[in-house]
Every structure is written in C-alpha cells, then in structure tokens.
Amino acid sequence: MTEREHPHHPDSWTADEQIGTLRLWRDEPYGLRLTAFIQDEIYRQARSEEIVPLRQQQGVRTYLQAKPYVLVPDITLGVQLSPRPDPHGAIGEVASSTWEGMRHEVVGQAQAWFYIEDRTIVLWEAYLLTRYRSSPNLLEDGNTAALWEGFERFLTDRFPQARQIVTTPADPEYEPADAYRVFLRRLGYERLSERAFGKERRE
C-alpha cells in the first residue's frame, strides 16, 4: 500500500481539521489534525478488482489522500561556537532562541475511496510513523486507535450517505497480521471475506 502522489499544487489540499488527540513527547497531548486532497474520478473495473464486490462496475468515486499532522513550536536556535575544541565533544553553546510560531509536522498517512453508487467507503490505509506511536504493540497503541477513529469520523462526516466502511484484513505497516485483525475487531469491524473486513455505518 504505497502512497499515490498527486501532481497538484498544495493549494488543492481542500480540507484541514482536527480529528483527535495524540499523546506524544513526555506524554503531552497534541491536537491531531488532518489535511486532505479530495477529488472525484471516473472508474471502470471488474468486480474482482476491489476488495468487496461492487454492484456498479463503472461510475464515480471520490479519492481522498490525507496527511495527519500535529502543530509543534518552530524554534530557531543561535549557537555560539567555542574558540577551542571541548574534550567532551561540544562545539559551542546555545546563545539565543527565537520562536517563529507553529509548524506542521506530518505524523503519518491515510487514504480512502468513496464509491458513490455503492455508498461504500474503502479505507485503504491509516497509519502513524513509528516514532509517533505510543507503543510498539498495536493493541496497546492509543495513538493509532485515535488516528483510525478520527479518520473514520472525517470520512463519514464527509460522506454521510455511506452505508458501510471496508478495509483490508492485513497491512504491512501493522505486524503481526493477527494483532491487526484483533485491532480492527476492537474498532467494530467484522470479517466479510478473505479480502475484507467491514462495518455498517452508524447513523
């Protein structure tokens, strides 16, 4: 599941909103935000090409590529170099610091499609980069759960006509696969087939 880069100017990132909270450095809470590129596209495909059977083999789907991020202080440090080498390896000391405001720090990746005629969201991926996960054990990682739940809300708010959300039963970002499937079940997904887990959208 690799990211599909789009060639558009950054102005085409058409949504930006907070979707949850991450616990990061020193267990401090950071608002989890998401910026998304959203575009309708025509598709034509056989039933076997999607992870769930589609009633409509051609039609319109909406592609959504998202970047989860947090805002962190943008600080510039001024360093005064030492006139002589330090025996411990230090080359100088911080002489000043300037706070420039806040900057976006991308923490992961998410992608989805919404099949309009089938009223189905395919959540293709949603993951945090390793250093932003609260535990190496997926089943104890509250940050990844926060990303999934926030991304799901973002999708269902964006596509209120959706009847179901489906996703894959394995993802190379989450190993072992058995733990990933337990994770999905905790989020309310059930196995639909060998190729998909899914859940009905709650009204």
Cα separation, 149 vs 110, whole angstroms: 12
pLDDT at 96 over 90: no
Cβ-in-10-Å burial (0-12, 13-18, 19+) of 109 comes to buried
The pLDDT of residue 103 is 80
The pLDDT of residue 67 is 95
> Angle, nearest 10°, between helix axes 142-158 and 177-186?
60
63: which strand partners?
Answer: 39, 113
| Percent of the chain residues past pLDDT 70, beyond the cut | 76
The pLDDT of residue 78 is 47
The pLDDT of residue 6 is 40
Which tops the pLDDT comparison, 168 or 81? 168
Q: What's phi and psi for 84, nearest 5 deg?
A: -125, 150
- On the CB side of 65, CA atoms within 13 Å amount to 13
- Read off the pLDDT of each residue in 3-13 and give the average, rounded to a whole number: 45
42-72 pLDDT, tens digit each: 988 765 678 888 888 888 899 999 999 998 8
Q: What is the pTM for the complete model shown?
A: 0.80
The pLDDT of residue 85 is 65
The pLDDT of residue 2 is 35
Average pLDDT, the chain: 84
Which tops the pLDDT comparison, 147 or 102? 147
108-122 pLDDT, tens digit each: 999 999 999 999 999
**Which tokens hold the place of 127?**
């993951």
